[in-house]
Amino acid sequence: MTTRIAFQGELGSYSHQACAEARPDHVPVACKTFEEAIEAVKSGAADLAMLPVENSTYGRVADIHSLLPQSGLHIIEEHFVRVRISLMALPGVTLDEVEKVRAHLVLVPQARAFLREHGIRSETAADSAGAAAELAKSGDRRSGVLASALAAEIYGLEVLASDVEDHGHNTTRFLLMSPEIDESERGDHGMLTTFVFEVRNIPAALYKAMGGFATNGVNMTKLESYMKNGSFTATQFYADIEGHPEDPAVARALDELRYFTSYLEILGVYPADARRH
């Protein structure tokens, strides 16, 4: 039976790379939007979805945290992808022939020093992998693309330079989403629990809700707030903590949190990726 994994973007994107690394035996399903990737799993067109949630350079991926609670899916794994940027062109083209490159607007600034050194101008594209696909069809020998090496492989382009990014730390964190939650697994590098909540409308509710994690020694690695339904007063919080809900300290902290919240939903309990540390 064929197992499929959905992602947002074109074949050859960094989301596709995450799928290929985490589930090399799954068939990738490219989707135009995050919503389509989620719906692919809910409809049965895909078994899993790979969604980016944050980047070490650019922070939170817009809108993704508000989509997760409504998705009906659960986090079963995290996966980190080091964003390595390759400059690619048509086969036979040399680096000194390339006059301009196209790439997604977040990739261009990351390779600014390399482009300046080689006198190459840049243009933004909606999608780097999509730009690679377009270049392969164009026959344009004066243009290149900044994208993943996977994109060059898929579209028959030639990598002229690898790792052209200015800094070597750029990493994107992805979450692997499934229709079923699985709390049975235990990871070699620890566990993470992700949840969303809304505090009760009482003074210092958030401060009191967070107190249970501090007093029980539970490390909270992420806490972010965002508006719910466009309201300036209805704020929802997204949190990652280290540990499993069955751990005594985590169980006590969550019990205390429930007392000060009007809504609490666990989105996933999953092993920490070794690269997190």
State the catalytic residues.
172, 174
Nearest C-alpha neighbor of 202 from the set 262, 122, 268, 269: 262
140: three-class secondary structure by DSSP: coil
Residue 169 tokens read as 């730390």
Q: Are 66 and 119 in contact (CB under 8 A)?
A: no
Which helix (DSSP H) or strand (DSSP E) does residue 91 occupy?
none
Helix (H) or strand (E) holding 75, with range, is strand 74-82
The token pair at 82 is 């080091």
46 vs 79: CA distance, rounded Å: 19
Contacts of 39 (CB under 8 A, 6+ apart): 45
CA distance 189 to 276: 9
The letter for the amino acid at 89 is A
Q: Which two tokens stand for residue 95?
A: 């680096």
**Phi and psi of 190, rounded to 5°?**
95, 175
